[in-house]
């Protein structure tokens, strides 16, 4: 069934691509003879654009898939999030694309602009992550309503989509054709199974530059862990939020075994400093609360300044971004 659907989408999109290639050729020949070789305009490539300034995720989602991705992108990029709510909600009958359903009729009607229920104030944002499901290889018509209604001048649109398999490029081409003034980059299609790493890469969060410290709540009291610039610290961030019950050992450390391993690059530091957060082996997390000389090897994850003596017994530690 899925293969059949994909095949149908593929056939439809191939048809479109052929048509697009053909019409593009005609258009290029026309421009060549009438305007001459004005390559200057072609060099203005909006694809280079990346996130800058305040950002917002604006998305339409009929059945919740794009919504889930939108929320993850908003979190990773530290953006506000606004849902495009259709005035007339889409029922499952409206989305039954094997029938003459409302969604199909809208997609086949070049004049269709489904109304949006809510106000979507994009005025204070420089970057707009624009999310939608792919409908018949392209953007749902409600996205055109959005483009028609609001002023995108000077704003960078970073599109993203979910789909049953189709890529995003056809929809982005169509957006560019619809309004050539839009500054819109190539965007990306997401699946629900995409990792946080994939999302972070999309929003351009560079771990080394952006995440330099995290929080640790030790028995409820907040401390800052200044992270090392290494693979172990980067991977550890992916485990967050994380809550551990850390056991006492030797009157100088609290430790807990993680249920996943971290990249290990251990070496003997010579001296342990109170506040050091270390990895022992590849899965044992240690917070030292006393300074002393050591013959053991660790991979350093970070350091907590001014960590007091944590005393006897185990501690509850919540690590957060």
Site for ligand FMN in 4-23 (CB under 6 A): 9
Q: Is 263 exposed, middle or buried (0-12, 13-18, 19+ CB in 10 A)?
A: middle
**C-beta of 141 vs 254, nearer to ligand FMN:** 141
- Give the other-Cβ count within 10 Å of 206's Cβ: 10
Q: Minimum CB separation from ligand FMN for residue 192, in Å?
A: 8
User: Can you tell me which of 55, 66, 145, 185 binds ligand FMN, judged by CB under 6 A?
Assistant: 66
The one among 125, 129, 135, 223 contacting ligand FMN by CB under 6 A: 135
Interaction of residue 136 with ligand FMN, rule CB under 6 A: yes
The whole-angstrom separation of Cα 272 and Cα 72 is: 38
Closest residue by Cα to residue 128 from 108, 145, 111, 150: 150
Taking CB under 6 A as the binding criterion, the range among 128-136, 201-209, 289-297, 311-319 that sits at the site for ligand FMN is 128-136
**Rule CB under 6 A: is residue 166 a binding residue for ligand FMN?**
yes
Of 164, 251, 308, 311, the residue at the interface with ligand FMN (CB under 6 A) is: 164
Stretch that binds ligand FMN, among 81-89, 96-104, 239-247, 267-275 (CB under 6 A): 96-104
DSSP secondary structure of 14-48 = HHHHHHHHHHHHHHHHHHHHHT---HHHHH--GGG
Does residue 129 bind ligand FMN (CB under 6 A)?
Answer: no
| Shortest reach from residue 173's CB to ligand FMN, in Å | 14
Binding residue for ligand FMN (CB under 6 A) from 63, 99, 268, 273?
A: 63
Supply the DSSP string of 67-82, one letter for each residue.
HHHHHHHHHHHT-EEE
Q: Which position has the token pair 């109170």?
A: 274
Q: Tell me which H or E stretch contains 96.
A: none
Residue 77 in contact with ligand FMN, rule: CB under 6 A: no
Q: Is the distance from CB of 254 to CB of 289 less than 8 angstroms?
A: yes
- Which residues contact ligand FMN (rule: CB under 6 A)? 9, 61-67, 95, 97, 103-104, 133-137, 162-166
């Amino acid at each position: 069934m899925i293969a059949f659907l994909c095949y149908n989408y593929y056939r439809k999109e191939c048809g479109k691509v052929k048509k697009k290639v053909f019409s593009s050729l005609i258009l290029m020949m026309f421009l060549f003879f009438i305007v001459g070789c004005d390559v200057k305009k072609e060099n203005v490539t909006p694809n280079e654009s990346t996130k800058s300034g305040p950002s917002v995720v604006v998305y339409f989602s009929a059945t919740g898939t794009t919504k889930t991705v939108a929320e993850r992108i908003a979190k990773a990029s530290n953006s506000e999030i606004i849902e495009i709510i259709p005035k007339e909600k889409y029922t499952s009958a409206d989305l039954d694309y094997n029938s003459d359903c409302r969604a199909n009729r809208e997609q086949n009607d070049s004049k269709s602009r489904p109304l949006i229920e809510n106000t979507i104030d994009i005025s204070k944002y420089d970057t707009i992550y624009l999310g939608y499901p792919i409908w018949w290889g392209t953007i749902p018509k409600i996205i055109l309503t959005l483009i028609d209604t609001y002023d995108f001048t000077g704003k960078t649109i970073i599109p993203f989509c979910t789909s049953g398999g189709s890529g995003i490029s056809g929809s982005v081409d169509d957006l560019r054709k619809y309004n050539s003034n839009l500054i819109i980059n190539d965007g990306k299609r997401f699946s629900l199974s995409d990792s946080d790493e994939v999302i972070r890469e999309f929003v351009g969060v560079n771990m080394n530059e952006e995440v330099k410290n995290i929080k640790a709540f030790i028995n409820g009291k907040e401390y800052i862990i200044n992270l090392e610039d290494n693979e172990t610290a980067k991977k550890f961030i992916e485990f967050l939020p994380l809550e551990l019950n850390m056991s006492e050992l030797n009157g100088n450390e609290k430790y807990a075994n993680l249920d996943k391993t971290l990249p290990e690059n251990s070496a003997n530091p010579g001296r342990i400093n109170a506040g050091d957060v270390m990895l022992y082996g590849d899965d044992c997390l240690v917070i030292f609360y006393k300074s002393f000389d050591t013959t053991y090897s660790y991979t350093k994850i970070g350091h907590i300044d001014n960590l007091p003596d944590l005393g006897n017994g185990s501690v509850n530690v919540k690590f957060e971004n």
